Structure 1
Amino acid sequence: MSTGPAHILLVEDNPGDARLLRELLTESGTGRLTLTHVDRLDAAIRCLTQAAFDIILLDLSLPDSQGAETLVRMHEAAQGIPIVLVTGREDEELGLQLIQAGAQDYLVKGQTTAPLLARALKYAVERKRLEEELRKKTRFLQSVLDTMAEGVVMADERGRFQVWNQAAERIIGSGPADIGIREWSKHYALFLPDRVTPFPTDDLPLARAIRGESVTDVLIFFHRPHWPGEAWLSVTARPLLDDTGHLSGGVAVFRDITAAKRTDEALRDSQERYRLLVTKASDIIYRTDASGRFTFVNPVAMRIMKYTEPELLGRRFIELIHPDHQPAAERFYGRQFIRKQPSTYYEFLALAKDGSEVWIGQNVQVLLEEGTVVGFQAVARDITDCKRAEEARLESEERLRSIVQSTGDAIILMDTRGQVAFWNSGAEKIFGYTAEQMLGQPVTRIIPQRFREAHQRGVERVAAAGRLTLQADMFELIGLRKDGTEFPLEFSLAAWTAKSTLFITGIIRDISDRRQAESALRDSEERFRAIMDNSPALIFIKDLAGRYLQANRQFEIISHLSHEDLVGKTDEEVFPPEQAAVFRGNDRKVLEAGAPMRFEESALHDDGLHTSIVVKFPLRNAQNRCYALCGIATDITDRKRAEEARQQLAKDRLLLLESTGEGIYGIDRQGRCTFINSAAARMLGSLPEAFLGQDMHERIHHSFPDSTTYPRATCRIQKTLEGGKGCKVDDEVYWRKDGTAFPVEYSSFPIIEDNQIIGAVVVFLDITERKRAEQQLTLSHDQLRKLTARLESVREEERILIAREIHDELGQALTGVKLELCLLHDQIAEVSPMMRKKLESISTLVDGTIQSVQRIATELRPVVLDQLGLIPAIEWQAHEFQARTGIQCTLDVYLRAVTLSHAGSTAMFRIFQEILTNVARHAQASVVHITLQEQAGSLVLDVRDNGRGVTDAELADPHSLGLVGMRERALLLGGETIFTGSPGTGTAVRVRIPLDQP
């Protein structure tokens, strides 16, 4: 900097910070300087291409670049110009990382002083100067090495120098001295290679050559006599012989190897430093050939990538890069190869041997030989933690930004002038103004007019004091929305300084809902109190020591204590000792368990001992700590009594099940037995427990009487389970354990709970004896029916016989009497008028008797039935009935002839006679309609009247022998007689008798 003004490039987007740095540079006394100021990274890079600079002051946070990326881009563009970073973050770890990435120094805004800035600039420039001098010295030494020549000296046998060439003079630093051999070491300050021990005179190469010895490349260290510095000589000496072959002296040829020696030492030092740097460095160092295959890797590379040296050497560098990053890396380093860019910086994601991901940031230099790229050399660093930290920082910033923007609270930033500098989305929702509408506007827009003056005074006090003094952490005020409505709000304030400017941050919450919630809470507490006081249950709250904190009115009534007298007391002070001990013990169980528990507790009340179900549970605060115990007691005395009654009823029910002779069992929805009484088990041939859980259909109801399978789907009990309808079955079989079947009559009923079918109950009877009795009864009925048929047949035969005898014998006799009376009348009519009258009277009596005989004979067996058949007989009987009773009869006949047996015709006629008799006696009818027809191979007689109608009771009356007789007559012939009727509509009778088959 002493050779001219220092040219400084300042890259800072904040005018205030730029002005401050300019002032600090002026105060630092660093001498003449010129300052170029830009506020964008792109502008700075353009300046570097247009002018030369000695140093760069760089702000990390710029509008067009942020963080470490700013340094990386500037470092690439600066081409060796020292960079001093200026940032607002005081982060020692970050500063170390940035210096390792290429920065010369790291200054924190707000903590930078003029001396500190001067020191940073001085060190940066001095380092540059030293680097330039080192390059010049290297060129100078290289030039010396290139032009160095050998020195040659000769001496006679006495040690007197004969030849001393210019190279020797140049190398030794002086010409020959007129001194003896013994003085050479002292005069020329010659030392052994240890640089401390004077070189023994007798061992000097030239002295030995004078003695006839030959020596080669003897190393001598000496101090130059005429100028400061030290020198190294490599001496080769040979003896000189005269013409006679005698020793005449010696010659020494030496080279000033000082530079070579120093270069060799420097090379060894450099190699050692390089070795130490490479092996001890914390960075990855490697070299590759032009194809990108590793030719060298340091231990750090092997440690980070988890490969051994043999595994890496010869392997392509690109293979270690994550597949997703390989294309971009190949393009990047391909451009560097093609363009022969000296140095580049690139970051990529690598994969270690174990598959773990490692972020690598590396500077890569192109290795050139005669303009051809022969390989690459890289210094790389594991930046995984930095990447993660950066990602975490970005995530944290994004999370903070998200929180600020997503919170329902308003967050407002205000300067000391009372103007809004930040307005989040919560503020937009609460006040109705957008950020564009409020930024730069006075915050009084959201304050009601009556409070604005006080607010302004507060802002002025803060501005004057330069700090914020608060009397409380939270405040409640009234806010003003954009629509002019006012609402209650709660807010907190905090002050902070940025760039010497005081800002006030306010966090505001709309507490309208809270106010409403508080009101609702008060209402809820009142409702809670009302519920407690009007609840029939006993409700109480105790603290952890067992003292009552609260109890409802029912508790106070039971305990005969007022609220004031009860609060603060323990169970021992309210209840007898035994009861109190039980209550307190249960309380401890709940508190120890930390969970609700149920107890059955008894307490003596005015009307005796009462039992209650008490639910006790801990009450917890917001920190989930138990602070009290609550209990709710429900009096179950009546329930206990009902339970006892239920148990007694269950016993009675069990007794009933066991005492009945019917078999009873229950099944679930799957048909498994849930209970069975002893009678059922006895009938089924096993003990009751043998059936529990068994499939009852498969066990006792699996087959029909003929042993064919009884499908479960058609089982009536199964249908009860599926449809929920009870059923009664009169004739099926159950199977015993021994494989025998017996007939049963059973009923099944569904068990329904909560509108769901959960099972069924089956009640059954062994009807073996009844079946046997029914068979005997059927046999008896058959025998009786046959007897009845025989009796009817005999009776008809007797009627025919009697009718014939009456008609033939009695009729003929009466006819004879009639004839005799007529003859007698003619003979004595003139003799005695009185006798004539008597004869006429007797004749009339005989006529009546003849008619009676004819009527009786007809009733016993109508001649028309035997002579003309059934149809004329029915017609005759209908006319006879109408004539005798006055009831109108209509007859419809829908067939010409009847192919019916004699017995069938007789039965049909007798049934018809009985029907007309019942009409005359009971029907109170005025019209009878008769139909005779053939249907499905049977003769069908329908008789319908318009009388009062037969009743069900009359039809079911066992004393109605006429009805029974009609049924039996038809039944004997395989037919039937059906009676129907209803009050007011008349009676209908249908008689069906099968016709004779042709």
Structure 2
Amino acid sequence: MSTWFAILELPFLLLATAFGFLTARAVKSSSIWRGMTFIALGSLLMAVGHIIMMADQLLKEHLLTEFLGNVGGAWAWLVALCTSWLFYGLGFFWIYEALPQKETELRLVARSHERTVDALHHSEYLYRSLVEAVRDVIYTLSPDGMITSLNPAFELHTGWSRAEWIGQPYAPIVHPEDLPLAMERFRQVLAGESLPCFTLRIREKTGGYWVGEFVQTSQLRNGEVVGVLGVCRDVTDRIMAEEALRRAHDELERRVQERTAELEEANRALKVEIEERQRIEEALRRSEERFRKVFEGAPIGISITDHSYHLVMVNRAFSTMLGYTQEELTTKTFLDITHPDDVALSVRGAEEVFGGQGRVGFEKRYVKKTGEVLLARLTVSPLHGNDGKIHWLVALIEDITEHKQAEEALRESNERFRSITQSAHDAIIVADQRGHIQSWNRGAQLMFGYTETEVLNQPLTLLMPTRYHEAHSRAMARVTHTGESRLVGQTIELMGLRKDGTEFPLELSLAMWWSKTGTFFSGIIRELTERKRNEQARARLAAMVFEEEERRRLARELHDQIGQLLTALKLTLEAAGRQPDVTSGGKLEIAQRSVEELIRRVHDMSLDLRPPMLDDLGLLPALLWLFQRCADQTNVQVTFQHTGIERRFEQEVETAAYRIVQEALTNVARHARATSAMVRVWADSSLWVQIEDKGIGFDLNAKAGTTLGLTGMQERARGLGGDLTVESAPGRSTRVTAELPLERRVKQWKLEEV
């Protein structure tokens, strides 16, 4: 029975021991700690005694007395029991001593607990007040993403009531683009990760969004995550401010870069400016040198004058112009050397330039050192100082005394020209590049019948027949576009139109000249009506003279050759009639030969007058026949050169060319004592004939008017509008050159020539 009681009591003792030790550790009072420790030790000793007692009983039951037979179980249990009660007594004694003090401590602990509870309630009140009053949204989420709590700031920021969202998932209130980030952050918080702040866009009840900055942490209970606690602050303004700040920062960066670039550019520019300034200084130095060289070497006078009109600097040309030295002029004012009548003009010009009116120009008179007057043209310009103000005047002085004299001479010349043109019998007309009349003299008025008032600024076509108008327009257009005129510098003949509508022949000499105002044409027109009559009369006279010359030559030929043959024939026939028949046969034979010679001479004379082949075959065959006949009859060998005469020409031209060559070769055979001659004939716009011999020559003045045939040759050429020249001298060869125009005897203005 006692054994089982000891077994049952043992756990309680062990528990008491453990309680004592734990209480001793928990209680901070040293007396109670010692008391509880002794009580625990007493309980332990009593437990040991019970164990010994139980062991004694068990050993006895298991027949182990041999091993413990010498040990008294009862005594051991008794010692343990006494010792445990001793420890109990000491423990309770110390506890008893510590109870009043502990009671005081317990009261203090109780009061502290009450204060703690009050503080907890106050802290809870403060927390609730803070949560309710804070403007940030404070919320809690369940692990499945449901909203479990919201503070009143939620309603302020979103416009929703809390009741509308508590118990709802948080996802619909987040901007769709930010939802993946929100879910990822929610997952990380549930996983216990520590996250930095992040921003999401939250939907408002009105449909808009605002930007919230979120801080989230996990809620733990017994070490397990039971939810998420988060705080959201409206940072829309801050984000906007940050965005503005970012833009401002970017702008600042851009401006800094620009400014840096500008500074770099400014540095480069400064470097360039320094280099440029050095170059400018060097250029200025060279410029000053050049200025002095130009100033001193200028062909016109240059002076620099200050506000008091003193000549600060003058160049050599100006001093030479006035007869002073440069040093003498720099002691004077420009008023001292100005003609008294021009002083006011000079002062007014100077004051205008000093007054800022820019450059001025005028003419004035200077008085030279010798007292002579010099007329000058001045160009006065301002000269600025470093302060930008006008401090000096620079005058360029040109001596125009001779120029003025030339202008006066030109004016007088123009007056004389006008007097001459107005008194001239020929028409003198000036037209501009449009073909309008600008000048009209009295001769033109008498020739055409128009007064100057009627024709000024009228077209030249007023003076032309209608058939010339189109050609005239083409010519004026060509002159305007190319400057080319085919008629300038020529003297041509054409028809003019009077005011009464009658046409008349005229001769025009055309010139073209230029001025600042444009291109002008001047024409001198001479009426040819009377000259044409004279030319026709002269041509008739020349024809009569030529015809008379031909008659004399023909009479001479008939007298010298045919007359002699006929006289001989007459004498022969008379002798034959007086003599007997025996001798008459010989006389008749002589008479027959004389008749044959007479026939031959008459045939030759007819060929000399005009060979038939000239009409039938043309000039070239006729000349070849003439050269062969000349060689046979006179032993003069002819060398012939020709170009472009294989064709036929007008009958008058061919006849004149043939007769000139024939007459020239006759002179070579009769007078030059030459055995050879050179004949050249070529054609371009005229037919040219040149006969040259290597004979003795003759004196042109001494032979003038003789019967060498020169007058006849000249009349033949001039009758066709050409000319003939003779070059000869005693002891030298003779050259005859004739030009026979191929178009008309007198050059006319053709429409295709315009």
Rg larger for: 2
